[in-house]
Amino acid sequence: MSLDFKVSAKASIRRMLSAAFWLQLGACAIVSWTLLRGGASGSAPVAAEPAPPAAAEPTGTSTQAAPADVTATTTATAAAEGDKTALATTDVTVSRNDTLDRIFRRLKLNLADLASLRSLPGIRAALDSLRPGEALHFTHQDGALFGLERRLNETQTLRVFRHGDALKADVLQNPVEMRTRTVRGVIDSSLFEAVEAAGAHDQTAVALADIFGWDIDFVLDVRSGDTFAVTYEEIWRDGSFLHDGPIEAAEFVNHGRTYRAVRYSDPEGHAHYYTPDGRSLHKAFLRAPVEFTRVSSRFNSARYHPILNLIRAHKGVDYAAPIGTPVHAAGDGRITVAGRLGGYGNCVEIEHSRSIMTVYGHLSRFARGIHTGAHVAQGTVIGYVGMTGLATGPHLHYEYRVNGVFKNPQTVSLPAAEPIDARWREDFLARSAPLLATLEAPAGAMLVAR
């Protein structure tokens, strides 16, 4: 064999071996790529396949919803089967002239249950004395009464419940807590704003005005800079504030003059307000017998009459107020006139002791039971503001006469009521001293209403 041929053969073999190598290597690469691609495509369906519902992890929402549906179904089933656990509750606000009979009929409750209630010993009075605006809580089913709750007062609640086939009742005690508090302030614009700024409420402002109302006209006499201090009780129940209680001691400085009052309950259970030395703050007469908006005409010996067009003495005070505003008897006495009286229009005259007479003119109408000869107590509503007779607008014309002599109702010295009973004077002084001490102003500025 020639040398050239050998060389050529070896070169061909090398080329063949080299081609085989590359073919084998390419085949391996193709197989590897195929395997890799096949593995990826095989995992995709597993990842995309939705998990079966049983395997899904429940969320918090679905856990909460399931019992609610069950409960609703159970309640509906129980109601359908007449289960006594499925009771309806109804809250009723008592309207004017409402009775339990009317409420039972309105709610379509069994009147036999009402008869059973009223037959329970000691319960009938608590059921019949409904007050407009109060709330009653009923529990019932298919017309049968299962429960009734009514708050009798701040400390007692009437509870009616069914025991077997019978209705029973008891009175629950709701104890209240009394907290003594003292507030003080300076009047900048009004008494109500100053009391509110001090931390008390409107009812305390009204009570304060009532206590000193015989000596101070809180509409006309109160000025910016007047000061007050009030010790009163707050009523709480179960940690919740209910309302302000009675004032125990009070001080009011008006135009530099100091007035003080302290509350005292005598052994017979009567509570009144007295000065620190035991004189009653209650006067025999009201300073103003009507809640007025302004004084439209004062006591004047030479007033120009707006209707008669002449100078004529005005021997009383005109208190402007809306038509229908209640007019009260200024003191205890006997009615001598209740009818039409010339320029006074509809008029009431009351004769009091101590030779005092009061007159109320221009009334729109008289209160029920007011007639000549009737006896009235201080504060009794005798009529309502109007403009009958010689009047240019709605107001009360009020006169105060002593032994037939006209006196200015705004300035006349009003007779006081009886002082504290001598039998209880020592007890009064001992109990009032610590209350009056609470009115002493501490160091620091007072609150001012702005």
Residue 61 maps to a domain: no
- The token pair at 175 is 């104890």
Residues 448, 190 contacting (CB under 8 angstroms): no
The three-class DSSP label of residue 118 is helix
Same domain membership, residue 277 and residue 300: no
Same domain membership, residue 273 and residue 254: yes
CA 376, 275, 437, 424 torsion: positive or negative? negative
Task: Kindly give the residue spans of alpha helices, DSSP state H, lying in 123-262.
Answer: 124-128, 191-198, 202-211
- The total domain count for the chain is 3
Residue 424 maps to a domain: no
The three-class DSSP label of residue 174 is coil
Same domain membership, residue 308 and residue 240: no
pLDDT at residue 435 in the model: 94
Residue 430 maps to a domain: no
Considering 118, 143, 173, which residue would you say is the last residue of a domain? 173
Same domain membership, residue 126 and residue 147: yes
Determine how many CB atoms are found less than 10 A away from the CB of residue 281.
22
pLDDT at residue 36 in the model: 52
CA distance 391 to 85: 68
CATH assignment at residue 347: 2.70.70.10
Distances (CA, A) of 340 to 336, 366, 376, 392: 13, 11, 19, 17
CA distance 174 to 237: 8
Rg (CA), the chain: 45
Residues 132, 95 contacting (CB under 8 angstroms): yes
pLDDT at residue 66 in the model: 33
pTM of the model: 0.52
Same domain membership, residue 382 and residue 305: yes
pLDDT at residue 376 in the model: 94
Residue 212 maps to a domain: yes
Same domain membership, residue 340 and residue 361: yes
Residue-number span of the structural domain to which 121 is assigned: 88-173
φ/ψ of residue 387, rounded to 5: -145, 40
Residue 387 maps to a domain: yes
Same domain membership, residue 197 and residue 245: yes
Residues 208, 230 contacting (CB under 8 angstroms): yes
CA distance 324 to 62: 64
Task: Please report where in the chains the tokens 């009391």 appear, as a residue.
Answer: 195
Same domain membership, residue 300 and residue 231: no
Considering 173, 206, 237, which residue would you say is the last residue of a domain? 173
Considering 109, 143, 173, which residue would you say is the last residue of a domain? 173
pLDDT at residue 313 in the model: 65
Residue 50 maps to a domain: no
- The token pair at 418 is 């009886």
Write out the chain's pLDDT in tens, 450 residues: 444 444 454 455 455 545 555 556 666 666 555 555 554 444 444 343 444 443 333 333 333 333 333 222 223 333 334 444 578 999 999 988 888 889 999 999 989 988 888 888 877 777 778 888 889 999 998 999 999 988 887 778 888 888 888 888 888 787 878 889 999 999 988 888 999 999 898 889 989 988 988 788 787 788 899 999 999 998 888 778 888 889 999 999 998 999 999 999 988 888 889 999 998 888 788 888 888 767 877 756 555 445 545 545 678 899 999 999 999 999 999 999 999 999 899 999 999 977 899 999 999 999 999 999 999 998 899 999 999 998 888 999 999 999 989 999 888 888 777 788 889 999 999 999 999 999 986 644 444 333
Same domain membership, residue 277 and residue 184: yes
pLDDT at residue 299 in the model: 57
| Helices and strands: H and E segment counts in the chain | 8, 23
Residue 160 maps to a domain: yes
Rounded to the nearest angstrom, the gap between the alpha carbon of residue 271 and the centroid of all alpha carbons in its chain is 25
CATH assignment at residue 145: 3.10.450.350
pLDDT at residue 47 in the model: 40
Same domain membership, residue 202 and residue 147: no
Residue 81 maps to a domain: no
pLDDT at residue 75 in the model: 33
Same domain membership, residue 143 and residue 129: yes
- According to the 3-state scheme, what is the secondary structure of 204-239? HHHHHHHHCCCCCCCCCCCCCCCEEEEEEEEEEECC
Q: What is the dihedral of CA 311, 313, 316, 319, to 10 degrees?
A: 10
Same domain membership, residue 387 and residue 306: yes
